[in-house]
């Protein structure tokens, strides 16, 4: 029972499916690569900036921690004994213990009986104020580097509250210009003041060796350029969300430009191939038509001296007519296959018999071309679902190519055997020749429409560049595979694999051998 199959619909559907999958895979790859690169880059930048910023913080804190202990105790004790520290007391809250009393209690160890007792923030503020004045003032205890840093730039006073602190002191970053603070003669850094900007952030884990013993806080000075690095660090973190999107947009734009350029190149190549095709077809039509016209006119005017010559002229006209018919059929079939208008009449048949029939029909052409030829059909071939005429046309194209591109050693052999490809059983049709061969760089394009290799040995022969393209389309419409093996001057072998029907296990014929004598 015959079936009608439109390979163009299946080919377009399959091509559309693969193209969609390709687009999805490319887009996913771009997203993954862009996100991965942005994430890795951003994370490394964050880690590097984070390490640099906090390394500076810890370095300054460790540098001043030991001296701060001594300065706080010395200045608070001096205040208790009436020594002039250049500091004017700033009245604290009535509920807060006096800072001097608290430090004395801490030194005498009396605070050990009340662990976690509230500690006035004013103690820390006073200590920071006194230390700032002492370090930044001329002749102070600061080193040359510290005096330069404290006296010439705006710094950040970073206060870290310990877990056992007063509970009302979180980490605060106080923005204060040291020079302005000293010019105003302030002795205390109040928690709320127009000169300062408090920024609440999440307190980090306490670090050993920085806090004053018994004081539920630590503080250090950080130059503004270091803090700006943290500002850049925040921008990098926000950029994590925008990085993949930006990279994807750039990648998509690059991909679009590349695709447009590729389409432009393909369009230009197609135009060139079509121009070559028109030229080739014109030449293919012109030569046979000229021969037919010449010999038909000679016969019509009865200028042939003998009957043998008449028969020769008739043979030429018939052969050239067959060549024209073959060329026109190739052009029409190629156009119909590409547009999906060609309908194959598929039925379960013997592939070997279809090949033998075409071989016998072409035998006269092989003899006339001086070819040594042979046919071998194996026994017990499985059945396959084929369009007999289409398979015959594919085999005819391969045989005519073998004739066209043979030079001194004019030899061709056609074999039909059982084979297995990609896990499927089927029939393998092989066409061997000893012609000029195919260059390695041209083997990937010989099955493309309108393609003719730039090899001078190819160009000097007539052709339209459709024969092998038509072979591939016919074979793929049958679910088969076409391939080629070739060596320069050593000839070529074209193979067509047609899958067998699933329930075809046994053979259908005896082995056949045929050929020229």
- Among 231, 247, 274, residue at a domain's last position: 231
- The band of 169, judged by pLDDT with boundaries at 50, 70 and 90, is very low
Is residue 474 within 8 Å of 394, Cβ to Cβ?
yes
Q: Check residue 301 and give its pLDDT.
A: 84
> Pick from 197, 219, 194, 196: which is nearest to 206 by CA?
219
- Would you place residue 348 in the very low, low, confident or very high pLDDT band (cuts 50, 70, 90)? very high
Mean pLDDT of 222-234: 38
Token readout for 165 is 């602190």
Burial label, 205 (beta-carbon count in 10 A; 0-12, 13-18, 19+): exposed
Q: Round to whole Å and give the CA distance between 180 and 199.
A: 20
Contact 218, 207 (CB under 8 A): yes
Distance CA 413, CA 339 (A): 34
Beta-strand pair 3-5/344-349: antiparallel
Q: What angle do CA 246, 21, 27 make, to 5 degrees?
A: 5
Span 7-15, mean pLDDT? 48
Residues 227 and 360 in one domain: no
Residue that is last in its domain, among 177, 205, 231: 231
Shared domain for 73 and 199, answered yes or no, is yes
Give, in degrees to the nearest 5, the angle at Cα 35 between 239 and 24.
Answer: 135
Comparing 72-86, 167-181, 466-480, 498-512, which segment has the lowest mean pLDDT?
167-181
Q: What is the chain's percent helix, strand, coil content, to nearest 5?
A: 55, 15, 30
Q: Greatest CA span in the chain, whole angstroms? A: 150
Alpha-carbon dihedral angle through residues 203, 208, 214, 217, given to the nearest 10 degrees: -20
Indicate the pLDDT class of residue 92, thresholds 50, 70 and 90: very low
Residue 127 lies in a domain: yes
What tokens were used for 473?
């389309």
Pairing relation of β-strands 424-433 and 344-349?
unpaired
| Residue whose structure tokens are 């862009």 | 34
Is 8 within 8 Å of 338 (Cβ atoms)? yes
Would you say residue 132 has pLDDT above 70? no
Distances (CA, A) of 490 to 163, 370, 411, 434, 476: 88, 19, 12, 6, 28
pLDDT interval class at 129 (50, 70, 90): low
Instruction: Characterise 492 by phi-psi region: left (phi > 0), alpha (psi -120 to 50), beta (else).
Output: beta
The predicted pLDDT at position 248 comes to: 63
Structural domain contains residue 296: no
Residue 166 lies in a domain: yes
Q: Is the pLDDT of residue 344 over 80?
A: yes
Mean pLDDT along residues 185-194: 38
- Report how far residue 107's alpha carbon sits from residue 99's, in angstroms, rounded to the nearest whole number: 12
Contact by Cβ (8 Å): 126, 188: yes
Least confident stretch, 362-366, 395-399, 454-458, 491-495 = 454-458
Q: Is the pLDDT of residue 166 over 70?
A: no
Task: Report the C-alpha gap between 399 and 356 in whole angstroms.
Answer: 13
Residue 478's pLDDT is what?
92
Mean pLDDT within 101-122: 46
What pLDDT was estimated at residue 441? Answer: 85
Burial class (CB in 10 A: 0-12, 13-18, 19+), 77: middle
CATH, residue 417: 3.30.565.10
The tokens of 307 are what? 């009957």
Asked which of 193, 215, 231 is the last residue of a domain, the reply is 231
Question: 40 pLDDT exceeds 70?
Answer: no
Of 30-44, 262-276, 477-491, the one with minimum mean pLDDT is 30-44
Q: Which residue has the higher pLDDT, 246 or 419?
A: 419
Cβ 438 vs Cβ 402: under 8 Å? no
pLDDT at 452: 72
Which pLDDT tens digit goes with each residue over 299-322?
888 888 888 888 888 888 888 888
Range of the domain at 406: 343-515
pLDDT (0 to 100) of residue 318: 86
pLDDT attached to residue 388: 93
pLDDT band at 425 (very low <50, low <70, confident <90, very high): very high
Give domain status of residue 205, yes or no: yes
Residue 218, classed as helix, strand or coil, is: strand
Assess whether 358 and 217 both reside in one domain: no
* 243 found inside a domain: no
SS3 508: coil
State residue 263's pLDDT score: 83
Percent of the chain with pLDDT over 70: 45
289 found inside a domain: no
Which has the minimum average pLDDT: 65-79, 286-300, 313-327, 419-433? 65-79
Same domain, 217 and 347: no
Number of domains the chain is built from? 2
User: Would you state the structure tokens that stand for residue 376, as one six-digit string?
Assistant: 């071998």
The structure tokens listed for 501 are 């029907």
The span from the CA of 466 to the CA of 327, in Å, is 9
pLDDT, tens only, 363-404: 988 998 899 999 999 988 999 999 998 999 999 999 988 988
pTM comes to 0.45
Domain presence at residue 217: yes
pLDDT, residue 431, reads 96
Answer yes or no: is 270 within a domain.
Answer: no
User: What average pLDDT does the chain have?
Assistant: 64
pLDDT band, residue 11 (cuts 50/70/90): very low
């Amino acid at each position: 029972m015959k079936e009608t199959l439109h390979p163009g619909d299946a080919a377009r559907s399959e091509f559309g499916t693969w193209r969609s999958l390709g687009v999805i895979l490319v887009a996913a790859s771009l997203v993954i690569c862009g996100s991965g690169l942005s994430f890795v880059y951003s994370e490394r930048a964050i880690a590097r900036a984070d390490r640099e910023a906090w390394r500076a913080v810890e370095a300054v804190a460790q540098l001043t921690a030991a001296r701060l202990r001594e300065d706080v105790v010395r200045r608070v004790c001096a205040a208790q004994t009436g020594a002039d520290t250049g500091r004017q007391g700033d009245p604290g809250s009535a509920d807060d213990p006096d800072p001097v009393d608290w430090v004395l209690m801490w030194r005498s160890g009396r605070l050990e009986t009340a662990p976690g007792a509230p500690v006035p923030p004013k103690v820390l503020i006073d200590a920071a104020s006194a230390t700032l004045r002492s370090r930044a003032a001329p002749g102070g205890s600061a080193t040359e580097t510290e005096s330069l840093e404290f006296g010439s730039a705006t710094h950040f006073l970073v206060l870290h509250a310990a877990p056992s602190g007063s509970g009302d002191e979180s980490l605060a970053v106080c923005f204060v210009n040291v020079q302005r603070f000293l010019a105003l003669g302030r002795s205390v850094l109040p928690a709320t003041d127009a000169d300062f900007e408090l920024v609440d952030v999440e307190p980090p884990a306490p670090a050993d060796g920085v806090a004053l013993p018994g004081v539920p806080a630590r503080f250090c000075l950080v130059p503004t350029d270091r803090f700006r690095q943290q500002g850049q660090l925040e921008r990098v973190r926000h950029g994590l969300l925008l990085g993949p999107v930006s990279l994807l947009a750039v990648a998509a734009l690059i991909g679009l430009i590349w695709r447009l350029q590729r389409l432009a190149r393909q369009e230009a190549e197609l135009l060139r191939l079509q121009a070559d095709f028109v030229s080739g077809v014109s030449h293919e039509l012109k030569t046979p038509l000229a021969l037919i016209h010449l010999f038909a006119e000679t016969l019509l005017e009865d200028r042939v001296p003998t009957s043998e010559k008449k028969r020769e002229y008739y043979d030429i006209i018939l052969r050239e007519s067959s060549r024209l018919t073959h060329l026109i059929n190739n052009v029409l079939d190629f156009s119909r296959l590409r547009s999906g208008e060609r309908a194959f009449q598929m039925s379960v048949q013997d592939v070997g018999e279809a090949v033998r029939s075409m071989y016998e029909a072409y035998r006269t052409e092989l003899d006339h071309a001086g070819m040594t030829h042979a046919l071998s059909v194996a026994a017990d071939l499985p059945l396959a679902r084929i369009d007999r005429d289409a398979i015959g046309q594919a085999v005819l194209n391969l045989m005519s190519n073998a004739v066209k591109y043979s030079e001194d050693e004019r030899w061709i052999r056609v074999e039909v055997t059982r084979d297995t490809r990609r896990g499927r059983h089927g029939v393998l049709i092989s066409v061997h020749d000893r012609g000029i061969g195919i260059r390695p760089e041209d083997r990937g394009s010989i099955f493309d429409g309108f393609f003719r290799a730039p090899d001078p040995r190819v160009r000097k022969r007539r052709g339209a560049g459709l024969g092998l393209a038509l072979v591939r389309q016919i074979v793929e419409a049958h679910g088969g595979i076409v391939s080629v093996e070739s060596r320069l001057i050593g000839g070529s072998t074209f193979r067509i694999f047609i899958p067998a029907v699933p329930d075809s296990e046994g053979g259908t014929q005896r082995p056949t051998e045929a050929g020229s004598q």
